[in-house]
Amino acid sequence: MYKATDIRAKTPDELSTLLLDLRKEQFNLRFQRATGQNEGLGRVRECRREIARIKTIQAEKARSASAKS
């Protein structure tokens, strides 16, 4: 699980890569749940929240970059 301070320290490219990895993981977890193989139900919720956290911080960085311009 990533903390907001850890995510804020990353560059925009690292955030995009991390977001892509989490979306792939979310897809795999959804696929496992559909086939009845899912063991860690809490990870689905964790993954969804991490994606939201990253998207929020990306939006904050975009707003601050446009405000500086």
pLDDT single digits (tens) 55-68: 999 999 999 988 88
CATH number at residue 33: 1.10.287.310
What value does the mean pLDDT take over residues 28-56? Answer: 91
Kindly report the pTM of this predicted structure.
0.87
CA distance linking residue 45 with residue 55, whole number of Å: 16
CA distance linking residue 56 with residue 64, whole number of Å: 12
Q: Give me the number of domains the chain comprises.
A: 1
What domain range includes position 35? 4-68
pLDDT score of 38 more than 80: no
pLDDT score of 39 more than 90: no
Amino acid symbol at 18:
L
**Residue bearing tokens 């699980």:** 1
pLDDT band at 54 (very low <50, low <70, confident <90, very high): very high
Number of CB atoms found within 10 A of residue 16's CB: 13
